Amino acid sequence: METRYKIAGVAGAGAMGRGIAQIAAQAGSMVRLYDTQPAAVQRAIQELHAQWDRLLEKGRMDAAAVAAAKQRLQPAENLQQLADCDLVVEAIIERLDAKQALFAELEKIVGPDAVLATNTSSLSVTAIAAGMHRPQRVAGFHFFNPVPLMKVVEVIAGLKTDPSVCEGLVAYAKQMGHTPVQAQDTPGFVINHAGRGYNTEALRIAGEGVADFATIDRILRDQVGFRLGPFELMDLTGLDVSHPVMESVYRQYYDEPRYRPTVITAQRLAGNVLGRKTGEGFYRYADGKAQVAAEAPAPKVDEIPPVWVSTRAARRAELYQLLKDLGAKVETGQSPSGQALTIVAPLGFDVTTVAVVERLDPARTVGIDLLIEDAATRRRVLATNPATRADMRDAAHALFARDGKPVTVIRDSAGFVTQRVVATIVNIASDICQQRICTPQDLETAVTLGLGYPLGPLAMGNRWGPTNILEVLFNMQTVYGDPRYRPSPWLRRRGAIGLSLLQEET
C-alpha cells in the first residue's frame, strides 16, 4: 500500500511524540523528529531503536522491518528541516500560545499543500489555527498514550478545516494500524468528553461521604465490569493530567453542571498527591502496588428477621426469588410486620425518600441496588438511611451474603453508586450525539477502545433500559435539585418511544 504521507514531521519528543514517530515510521513514512531540546530527540530515537529490537526478539517484527523503521526515523536539528514534510504532527506542551506560535512558524516553512495536525487533547483546533493564512489545512490528530498500544485516534475538523484534510488523516490512521473516529471541534472532543461522567460522578459520591475510594472502585469493577475503578484510573493517569482536563472541559462549556469538577482533586493536585508517579494518590503505593485494606467479613447474625419487599421495588420478582434462594422468610402482606426487615430497591431515589413516601419505618429499611440484574454482577450493594438500626443493617448484610457473593453496605445515596455513575455516563454520551459531535457508532468505538469500558455508553443505556436510566436521572434531579442530572433530549426522546440509543435520525 502506498504511504499516505511519504515524509512526516513530529514536533515534540516526549512520550506522545515518540509514540507517534514510532507508528509513522512503521507505517512507511520517513519521519523527522524535532524538539527544542536536541538531547530529548536523541533519547527518543535511542528508546525507539531499543523498543524495535525488543519487538524483533519477541518475533513481533522481522529484521528487515526493524532495519527499515530505524532508517526512516531521523532527527531534525531545527524546524527548517521539516520543510519538505507532507504532514507535521505537533505534540508539545498543552498550552494554546505555545501551539499557536509553533504553527505560525511551521506555516512559513512547509509547502502550501502540507497538512499541519495538532495532537491536542483539550484545546480548540479552531483556536490553534486562528491567525494562520491557511487554517483549512489544520486538523486535530489526537492519539492516546501509549500510542502503539492505544489503537484509537480522534480526527478533528476545525471550523475552517478542509474535509479532504480529515479524509487524508483518517486513511493514514488506518495505515498506522489505528482506528480513526471523526469528531467536531468541541471541548474534550469524543473520548475526554465522554469520560467526564465516570470520574466526576465518583468524586461526587466520595465527596458526599457515601463510601470511601476503594469501596467505590470495588463496586464499579464488580457490578458493572470496569477494568479499573475511577480512583485507580486517576492514580494511573495522574491528577496533574486528569484534573486540568476536568477543569478545561468544564470551563470551555461555560460551567456546564454535567462536567463540574470537585475540590477533592484540586486539593490533591495542590498537595502533589498525584497518584502512582508520586507514590501516593487515592491509594498509597509500595513497590508500585496499591495498598488496600482487606474487606471486613460479613457480620454474623444469630437470627434473620422476616423480610418484606416494597411493592415498588425494581426487579421485584427477581428480588423475591433471590430472597427465597437465600433462605429468607418473606412476608407477603400489604405492609411489613413490626419485626420485619424492609427492603426497597429504588431507581434514582435514596432510601430516605422511599421510606418517607411509602410510609415505611426508616429504622428497619435497607435499600438494594438492582439496576443491573443480580446474576450479572459479582457484588451486591446495600444502602442504609440515617435512621437504619445497626441490627437491621447487619441482618440485611448477612442475609444477602449467604451464598458467598460479596456485599457492600454504603451510606444513603440517591442512585447508590452504580446507578449514579452509569446514568451519568449514558446521559453525557447521549448529549454528545445530540450535539452531533460524532456518530453514535464512532462514539461507541472511541469509548470502548480509548477508555476500555466493558460496553459503549449507548450500549449500556440499551442494555439496562433507556427508561430505567431516565427514571434514575429524573429521580436524582428531584433529590439533589441539580441540573447536572437533567436528561439529554437524545436520551429522553428515545426512552419515551422505545428507540435504541444507537439509532441515528434519518
- H or E, element range at 175: helix 163-175
User: Which residue(s) pair with 286 in the sheet?
Assistant: 289
For the chain, the C-alpha Rg in angstroms (whole number) is 26
The answer to whether the bond into 299 is cis (omega within 30° of 0) is: no
What is the distance between the alpha carbons of residues 19 and 200, in angstroms, rounded to a whole number?
29
Residue 468 is among the residues annotated as catalytic for this protein = no
Owner of C-alpha cell 426487615: 341
Contact, 140 vs 191, CB < 8 A? no
Task: Determine whether 133 is an active site residue.
Answer: no
Are 476 and 414 spatial neighbours (Cβ–Cβ below 8 Å)?
yes
**Catalytically annotated residue among 29, 119, 121, 248:** 121
Catalytic pick among 192, 248, 427, 475: 192
Measured between alpha carbons, how far is 188 from 253 in angstroms, rounded to an integer? 10
What 3-state DSSP class applies to 187?
coil
Show the DSSP H helices in 226-365 as ranges. 230-237, 239-252, 263-270, 316-325, 351-357
Confirm whether 397 is a catalytic residue: no
Beta bridge partners of 234: none
Interhelix angle 466-480/489-497, nearest 10 degrees: 130
- Tell me how far apart the alpha carbons of residues 448 and 444 are, in angstroms, rounded to a whole number: 6
Give the helix/strand (H/E) hosting 40.
Answer: helix 38-57
Residue for grid cell 504532514: 87
427 is catalytic: no
Catalytic residue (choose from 107, 122, 124, 154): 154
Question: Residues with Cβ < 8 Å from 173, sequence gap 6 or more?
Answer: 141, 153, 155, 179, 180
φ, ψ of residue 143 to 5 degrees: the values are -95, 170
Q: Which residues of 109-122 are buried (b: 16+ CB within 10 A; e: fewer)?
A: bbeeebbbbbbbbb
Cell readout for 435 is: 450535539
Kindly tell me the number of DSSP H helices and DSSP E strands found in the chain: 20, 16
CB 452: neighbour CB atoms within 10 A? Answer: 12
Question: What is the set of active-site residues?
Answer: 121, 142, 154, 192
